[in-house]
Amino acid sequence: MNLLIIQARMGSTRFPGKVLAKIEDTPILKILFDRVCKSKYADQILIATTENSEDDCIKTFCDDNGINVFRGSDWDVLDRFYNACLTISPKPENIIRVCSDNPLLSHYEVDYVFKAFLNSGMVLFFKF
């Protein structure tokens, strides 16, 4: 099972709240989610955010839009991802991380990276 995790949080020094900022009335996070949902390789998509109260709006956004969300550590991103994976069944074999502030990411790019990884025989692969 291939899991795509979108890393999202409201905190930012340059542009706080950017993941829910709107482009033509649509939040950036929704634009990105809709685009990566078209991936042929992502069997499941999850948004991972923090337990900070400032990220409550991301949880609400996900709940309102029927999007799987996990909340975890703010400072330990690896721990957040690890624990997010533990909530998924069946256990993911492959995981791809996507940053939430890139609404122009195409599902073609996601599929290219998934395919390259699956064909490589590697256990770790970085692209985005």
In eight-state DSSP terms, residue 92 is: P
Of the candidates 97, 90, 9, the residue with the CA atom closest to the CA atom of residue 55: 9
Q: Which CATH number fits domain 2-120: 3.10.620.30, 3.40.50.970, 1.20.1070.10, 3.90.550.10?
A: 3.90.550.10
Query: Hey, where are the domains in the chain?
Result: 2-120
Distance of CA 7 to the CA centre of its chain: 4
Mean predicted confidence (pLDDT) in 2-26: 94
Report whether the peptide linkage leading into residue 92 is cis, meaning its omega lies within 30 degrees of zero.
no
| Residue range 22-79, pLDDT digits in tens | 999 999 999 999 999 999 999 999 999 999 999 999 999 999 999 999 999 999 999 9
Q: Which two tokens stand for residue 55?
A: 């990220």
Query: Look-up: residue for tokens 């069997």?
Result: 43
pLDDT of amino acid 124: 64
Q: Is the pLDDT of residue 106 over 90?
A: yes
Quick one: what percent of the chain has pLDDT higher than 70? 95
The model's confidence at residue 125, banded by pLDDT at 50, 70 and 90, is low
pTM over 0.85: yes
> Residue 5 burial (CB < 10 Å; 0-12/13-18/19+)?
buried
